[in-house]
Structure formats: structure tokens, C-alpha cells
Amino acid sequence: MTCNGPSSYTLYPQPMPKLRLFANLREIAGQSTVEIASDTVGGLLDAATAKYGTDFEKGVRVSRIWVNGESASRDDAVGAGDEVVVLPPVSGGSQPVTAVAPVDFLAFAPVLIALAAVVANLANQEIWAAILVGVSLVWALDLNSVFSGRGRLFAPLAVGVAAAGSVMAAHVMGGSGFGLSIGLAVLASVGWAIAVPVYRDVMVYAPTLLVSAIAAMGAASLGLARSSHSPSEAAVDIFLLTVIAGVTLGAVVERAPAMPFLDPFAVTAIGAVLASVAGAVIWDLDVVSHLLVGLGIAVALVAGRGFGSMLRLGRVSLTERLPGVLSSLDGVFLAAAIYYPLLSIIL
């Protein structure tokens, strides 16, 4: 059928893929979200680069790309309604060396947390408990920033509540309080899901519950390790020495130029074991027992990389730099969660 007169149809713009920007890329573009017509991720990024210039292109080159919350490559197809997230190195990864910006100082956050933990351990039990809850919450907030960058929800306050409740339960009930920590994590996660309906989705509830359980067990475990219930008066000192040595040595090797026979995971494990043994010598404790304790912590630190990649990338990866400022805490909290049971069995 041919229509010679004016069209009787009104044309509306078709939905296009949405590009979501963060940090310096958002500042360069002048907006956080833009719609660009393209049928592939690469085409969309090329169009954005042509629009926003060279600095934008440099930022995209070192950024992580996600499509609808899943890691993506330039060849992946996109269509109407898809959300492409560009997560720059501020949230993890490497970037070219430029003038120092305020966000560069975020790289020192793990060092500051380690320093705060050492200082709190020298203070009284109340301050130590407070720092455990605070670090749990900061870790959860870091994970929340990663989930947000992927366009997904996470409930960091539920993690903080679970950690606080577990520390108090361990202080009042001793070892029984540690057992109760998992129940408190479930209650905190369920409570948030009941209070806020969007948290009832399994993709929100499951990671929140998992992190809440690890944080609650870790906080209760380290609280008990510094209490009268601990099998060793130097338990927390040795834990801090072991995890700081292991994580630091592993991070140095990971960031250094490739060196034969040096693997960051092996260095992390060996550094943790040697530090635990050194701690036993320093505090005049049984070396063999603390060798076994060091082995347990070393396994947890290395396993924490896989655990952290599942949370931060949505898949297990042992080779990629993980997004987030505090990804090193993933393994530390896993080690903390098993520490008190490990001490109770070995010592």
C-alpha cells in the first residue's frame, strides 16, 4: 500500500545502549550516563572516545568493562536497554603514572588499616572490638562500591551489624558466641531483606549473606583471640604479623616486573608461614604449632583471592587485578574467620 500524503505515524527515538561512567571518565564526559547507538561494546566505546577525546580514550584503555553486571569484551554485542559500565582504575587495576591525584592516596588505605589494627591491639579490648567492627564495615563498603559499579545492589550495613553483634556475642558467651556468629549474619541479612524489598533478590541476598557470615566469624574470631578465652596471649600479635607479612610480600611481587620462579601466591603463602614461625620465636612459643597455624593462614590468604574474585568479578580469576581499594582484605577476613578454631585445635 502506497501513502502519498503526510505520514500518519509518529516516529519516536529507539532505545539505545546506555554507557555508565565513573570517576575521571565521568568528569571528562561531564555526565555519568550517556546513550550511544552501537551494536557492539567496542563500537560504543569508539563512538564515546570520538566524542570525548584523547584523555577519555586513555581512561577507557585501562578500565574494566561490564555489560548488565557481567564482565565483557569489545566484541560482545549490545542492544537497546543494555547498560555498559566503564570502571576506571580508581576502583582497582593499573593505570599510567601521572600527576598525583587525591584518589591515588586510596592505594594506602590497606596500610592505614593495618596500622590502625596494630595500634588498637596495643590498647584495650573495647578499642580492639571497635576496630574489628569498623574494618568489617569498611570492607563491606569497598565491596559495595564494586557491586555498584557493576550496577548491582549490596547491603554493607547488614555486614556491619552482623560483625558488631558477633563481637558482642563472643565477648559475653566466649566460644559459643563464635558459633552464634553465623546465625547473627543470617538474621542481619534477612532483616535487611525484610526491611528493603529490593534486597530480597537472590543476586543481592546471597553475596550479602556470604560476606556477613565471613565478617561476623572473622570479627568474633579475632575478638576471642585477644580475650581470656584465647589459647595464647600473643595470638593477635602473631595473626597481625602473619597476614601483614604475607599480604605485603605478595603485593610487592604482584606489582614488580615479572621475575622467574616468583609467584605472588607462593610468596604470600611462604611469607605468612615464615612470619608465623618468626612470631613464635619472638614470643617464645611452640614453633611447630605455629608452623601449622601459619600454614592454615597461608591457605586462607591464597584461597581469599579466589573468594574475592567471585565477589568482585563474578567469576574465579587468579591472574587479574581485582577492582576495589581493599581487595587484600578478602583473604585476611577468610583467615580471620578460621583463626580462633585453628588455635583451639592446634594449641
pLDDT digits 0-9 by tens, 6-20: 444 334 355 788 888
Q: Is the pTM of this model over 0.85?
A: no
Query: Is 22 inside a domain boundary?
Result: yes
Report how far residue 51's alpha carbon sits from residue 43's, in angstroms, rounded to the nearest whole number: 12
Residues 119 and 84 in one domain: no
Query: Is 251 inside a domain boundary?
Result: yes
Structural domain span for residue 256: 105-315+323-346
Q: Given pLDDT bands bounded at 50, 70 and 90, which one contains residue 255?
A: confident
What's the pLDDT at 58? 82
Mean of pLDDT over the chain:
86
Q: Over the stretch 30-89, which tens digit does the pLDDT of each residue have?
A: 888 888 888 888 888 898 888 888 888 888 887 878 888 777 888 888 888 788 888 776
Give, to the nearest 10 degrees, the angle between helix 54-61 and helix 41-52. Answer: 150
What's the pLDDT at 317? 80
* Structural domain ending residue among the three candidates 72, 98, 124: 98
Number of H helices, E strands in the chain: 12, 5
Joined together, the cell numbers standing for residue 281 give 620465636
Report how far residue 122's alpha carbon sits from residue 115's, in angstroms, rounded to the nearest whole number: 11
CB 138 within 8 A of CB 325: no
Specify whether the backbone of 136 is left (phi greater than 0), alpha (psi in -120 to 50) or beta.
Answer: alpha
Three-class DSSP category at 7: coil
* Structural domain ending residue among the three candidates 80, 98, 116: 98
> Among residues 109, 148, 113, 136, which one has the least CA distance to residue 23?
148
Residues 210 and 247 in one domain: yes
Query: Is 242 inside a domain boundary?
Result: yes
Residues 140 and 68 in one domain: no
Query: Is 192 inside a domain boundary?
Result: yes
Q: Which of 93-102, 159-168, 178-187, 320-329 has the lowest mean pLDDT?
A: 93-102
Q: Over the stretch 76-129, which tens digit does the pLDDT of each residue have?
A: 888 887 888 887 764 443 333 333 344 445 667 888 999 999 999 999 999 999
- The structural domain count of the chain equals 2
